[in-house]
Each structure stands twice: as C-alpha cells, then as structure tokens.
Amino acid sequence: MSENHEFGAFGGRHVPEPMQEPLAQLADAFETVAKTDEFREEFRSILSTYAGRPTPIYHAENLSERYGAEIYLKREDLLHGGAHKINNAVGQALMAEKAGKSRIIAETGAGQHGTATAMVGALFDLDTEIYMGAKDVERQRMNVFRMRLMGAEVNEVTRGGAGLADAVDAALEDFVENVDDTHYLVGSVVGPDPFPRMVREFQSVIGREAREQFLERTGELPDAAVACVGGGSNAIGLFHAFRDDDVAFYGGEGGGEGSDSDRHAAPLDDGHEDVIHGMKTRVIDDDTEVHSVSAGLDYPGVGPEHAMFREMGRAEYRAITDDEALAAFRALSEDEGIIPALETAHGLAMAKRVAEETDHETILVNLSGRGDKDMETAAEQFDLS
C-alpha cells in the first residue's frame, strides 16, 4: 500500500472498512484508466473545446505597481464556470463514465465545485446530486440556481455547522450507501487516498501550462508561485509542475479574524496533526470555530500534501484575514478590472505579503476563480448599493 503514503506522514485511507474496497478499486481504476494516452487525449480535448483551456497568463501591471513586485496571473477565472474546478470535474466524470457509473455526487462549499459537477453531470448525462451546507446555500444562492438549472439535485445539509465539512460527511455517507453505481466526485485534494493524488493529477494542468507560458513570456521561471488554500487543489494544481524548480511556494489560508483568534480556517498556520475525512493532515484546534469570509476556504482541514510541504519547508502558508482578502478583492477589481473570487483574493493578499516581506521580484498567482458569485458580500462590505 505504498501509494497510501506518498505524502510522507500524511494522507492515507482512514475510513471504515466498508469504504476500503471501493477506494481500492477507485485507486486501481485511476492507475489503469486515467494514466493511459487515450484517456489523457480525451481529457485534454474536452478541456480545450468545452472548458476553454489553455487559459492565459496576464501581467497585471497596475497591481504590480501597487504591490511592488511583478505580478502575473494565471487566469483560471476565465474557464467555463468561472473557476479551476472544471478541470477536476471533467477528469473525474470521465473516470466515472469509464467505470460504468451512472451517478455522481459531490460536496460543495462556495458552490463552485458543485456547479462544475452539475456541468459535467449534464455533459456526460449522469444523475447528479450535490451536498451543500445550509449556511452556504444561503450565501451562494446563484450557484444553487445554476446547479438546479443544469439538472443537479441540491441537497441542503443542516447538521453540525451546516458548512463544507458537514457536506463532506453527508457525501461520504451517500458514497458508502451507493457505491455500486455512484462516483464521489471530490472537489479538492482532500479525503482518503486516492482522492488527493487523483484531484492533483487533473488540476496539475494549471501549473504545466503556466510554467510553459511563463518561460515563453519572460525566458525565466517566476521567483514565487502563490495561491489560496482551502482544501488546496488550485494551489497543488499550480505548484506541482514547479516542484523540482527553484520557485518558492506560498499559500494563503482563510485566516478569518486572524490565526491568533478563535475564528479562522487556517490549519497550516495554526493547527495540529489529526485525522479527518479519511486522511491524516493538519486540522484547526478544537477551540477554534471554523470561519472564513469565503465559503470555499471555510474548511477545518487541508490537503495532506500541503501538510507535507509545510513540514518539509517546501511551501510557506499564512493565515490571510478576512480584511486583507477583502482589500485584495477590491484592489484587483479597481486596478485591473478583474473581480476575483473571495477565495482567490486570499491568494492575491498573500502575494502582497510576499512582495512586501521577501525579495522575490516575479510572482505568479493562480487567479483560481472569478468573483461574480461574491457580489452580494461585496455589496454589503463596500456599500455598493
């Protein structure tokens, strides 16, 4: 079971016995199906004709001036659906189809992954059910409407904190109950093996493209690669291609009211090692209430590979407060005419810190999603009405 331990002391398959065999089968399918040339070609083709790849990198000169370093944006916000989530959704739906499953389920926080899943559910003609915390249904209504319009059933989760972690629990239970015909389309690099490495495989297209584009554009690699980290799929997707390069990695977590407060979602900055949702990783402490202004980062754990990167010192992670994220959200909108997702704004705020606190001159930021879905929050925060 060496594949269970590819993230050092983290990761694994910490699930009840009934889930072991389905996950083992999924891992086999991933190794045998998803790594063939035929699969990769089909995947590439759908991403290109349906999802809008490749996405450009954009030199944000106005923002660069504001932050004091050369900021380049990998424009994942331009993808179909408005976020990087579609990369993974297409990959996994393709796997579900090859495995003969008739139904896909997913959890969603901000609704971005749920929307991406609803899209591929329609595209591949699979029954689709989305689990979403009641708290998030309330603050992300547009995405709920989008999912329903595309034919997905949205299941409102009211238990526990009615947030992303509770939606994951509900989806895992559905998966256990219906494993014969159902594929659980996990939205981030979290959960039991093989999900973290599977989602990484499908998201790593981001970094592969960006690396090539950056080299072509500047003749060099960036000094630093920066992304927001909730579960951490857009960050892993960006980092993976640069893992053996002399490129520093920085992740901005949902810092809520600050990592020294008791309301945040920053387990890498302020947490401990723990087992959650089938994986060993870092989790926020028990006396911390999971909170972030961004629904997509509002998660108590993090992908095991990030926990490993942190321990190895390969990447640095910081809690970005709600206020810092909102300032970056506004800055990008005003300077570049690009409204980022609130999640993504944490990556931008992290880039600002990197620009201020380090001597990195070129910073590549994963602009993982667009902010249309966050306009109600923005209208409230910035008094826009």
Partner 1 sequence: MGLERVFADGPAFVPYVAAGDPSYEESLEYVEALERGGADVIELGLPFSEPIAEGSTIQEAVVRSLEAGMTPDRYFEFVEDLDVDVPLVCMTYYNLVAQYTNDETGERGPRAFAERAAEVGIEGFVVVDLPAEEAGPLREACDEFGLDLVFIIAPTTKGDRLEQMREHVSGYVYVQARLGVTGAREDVSDQTEESLARVADWDVPKAVGFGIKTGEHAERIVAAGADGIIVGSALVDIIAAGADGEYPFTETAQRLESKARELKEGALAGAEKRAATEQSD
Determine the length of the chain. Answer: 385
Site string for partner 1, 320-349 (x = CB under 8 A): ------------------------------
- Side chain identity, residue 248: A
- How many CB atoms are closer than 10 A to CB 362? 18
231 binds partner 1 (CB under 8 A): no
21 binds partner 1 (CB under 8 A): yes
Pick 17 or 357: Cβ nearer partner 1: 17
Site string for partner 1, 149-188 (x = CB under 8 A): ----------xx----x---x--xx--xx-x---------
Pick 91 or 278: Cβ nearer partner 1: 278
287 binds partner 1 (CB under 8 A): no
| Known catalytic residue at 177 | no
* Identified catalytic residue from 85, 101, 135, 280: 85
- How many CB atoms are closer than 10 A to CB 28? 11
| Known catalytic residue at 35 | no
Contacting residues for 50 by C-beta, under 8 A, at least 6 apart: 80, 90, 123
The whole-angstrom separation of Cα 282 and Cα 69 is 31
Pick 153 or 274: Cβ nearer partner 1: 274
Helix (H, G, I), strand (E, B) or coil at 263: strand
Residue list 288-317, contact with partner 1 (CB under 8 A)? none
The least CB distance from residue 53 to partner 1, in Å, is 35
Contacting residues for 363 by C-beta, under 8 A, at least 6 apart: 69, 70, 71, 72, 222, 223, 224, 225, 226, 351, 354, 355
Give the residue among 26, 30, 31 at the shortest CA–CA distance from 15.
26
Q: What angle do CA 369, 104, 43 make, to 5 degrees?
A: 60
Give the residue among 381, 380, 235, 239 at the shortest CA–CA distance from 297.
235
* Identified catalytic residue from 107, 324, 336, 343: 107
Pick 28 or 356: Cβ nearer partner 1: 28
277 binds partner 1 (CB under 8 A): yes
The whole-angstrom separation of Cα 374 and Cα 219 is 36
Pick 147 or 165: Cβ nearer partner 1: 165
Residue list 255-274, contact with partner 1 (CB under 8 A)? 274
State the angle between helix axes of 112-124 and 85-98 in degrees (0 to 180), rounded to the nearest 10.
40
Helix (H, G, I), strand (E, B) or coil at 290: strand
Pick 17 or 216: Cβ nearer partner 1: 17
* Identified catalytic residue from 305, 336, 368, 373: 368
| Known catalytic residue at 107 | yes
18 binds partner 1 (CB under 8 A): yes
275 binds partner 1 (CB under 8 A): yes
Which residues bind to partner 1, rule: CB under 8 A? 1, 4, 12-22, 159-160, 165, 169, 172-173, 176-177, 179, 274-278
Residues that are catalytic: 85, 107, 368
